């Protein structure tokens, strides 16, 4: 599989908690609770500097349950943006589902609604889209639209790796930086050809 840029736009969708930042036992409601995982900010920089469009897609049931307000979420995302920009990276957007698990919506992963909205708004095909996550719902959501599942072994990734429901074509990396280095090498290889 060649993920190198070949004139087509490529999209990397990132789950947030457990991929970019340290998992917390409760929804993150304060910027002081948000701590980037080692190498994750450099990873976003590598991806964006290699020409990939990078966005976040996250289930945020803390909004629907009242544990997190929109103002608090925006403050957390403000801190995250600052760290990413300082590393030289860029996010092209943040999508989230605010609903609780019981809401039966189409946007909460593993349902495909949020991902379909992302690729529609960005005009990128599903086959040119990778979702990097640490949970089975992430893998199921991207597989449902015909994209590429990437499991990282941070967050709950090691537990997810043991599950039999993983899509057959799931790629596995130690962390986001490991995946980003692979993507960067592919982009550099394509540029040489």
Q: Is 15 annotated as a binding residue?
A: yes
Sheet holding 129-133, edge to edge: 94-97, 53-59, 11-14, 129-133, 148-152, 171-173
Q: Give phi and psi for 129, each to the nearest 5.
A: -125, 135
Q: Is 183 annotated as a binding residue?
A: no
- Residues labelled catalytic: 15, 17
CA angle 80, 86, 89 (to 5 degrees): 75
Whether 95 and 122 have beta carbons less than 8 Å apart is answered as: no
Whether 154 and 176 have beta carbons less than 8 Å apart is answered as: yes
Q: Is 107 annotated as a binding residue?
A: yes
CA distance 102 to 114: 17
Q: Is 17 annotated as a binding residue?
A: yes
Q: Which residues are annotated as a binding site for Zn(2+)?
A: 97, 99, 105, 107
What residues are designated binding site?
15, 17, 97, 99, 105, 107, 134
Q: List, as residue ranges, the binding site for Mg(2+).
A: 15, 17, 134
């Amino acid at each position: 599989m060649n993920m190198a840029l070949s004139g087509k736009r490529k999209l990397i969708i990132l789950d947030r908690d457990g991929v970019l930042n340290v998992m917390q036992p409760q929804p993150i409601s304060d910027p002081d609770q948000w701590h980037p995982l080692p190498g994750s900010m450099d990873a976003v920089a590598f991806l964006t500097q290699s020409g990939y469009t990078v966005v976040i897609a996250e289930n945020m049931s803390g909004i629907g349950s009242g544990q997190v307000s929109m103002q608090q979420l925006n403050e957390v995302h403000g801190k995250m943006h600052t760290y990413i920009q300082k590393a030289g990276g860029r996010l092209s957007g943040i999508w989230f589902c605010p609903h609780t698990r019981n809401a039966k919506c189409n946007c909460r992963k593993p349902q495909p609604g949020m991902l379909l909205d992302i690729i529609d708004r960005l005009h990128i095909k599903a086959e040119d889209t990778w979702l990097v996550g640490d949970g089975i719902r992430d893998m199921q959501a991207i597989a449902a639209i015909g994209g590429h599942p990437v499991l990282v072994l941070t967050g709950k990734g090691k537990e997810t790796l043991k599950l039999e429901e993983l899509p057959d074509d799931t790629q596995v990396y130690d962390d986001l930086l490991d995946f980003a280095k692979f993507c960067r090498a592919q982009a550099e290889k394509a540029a040489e050809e």
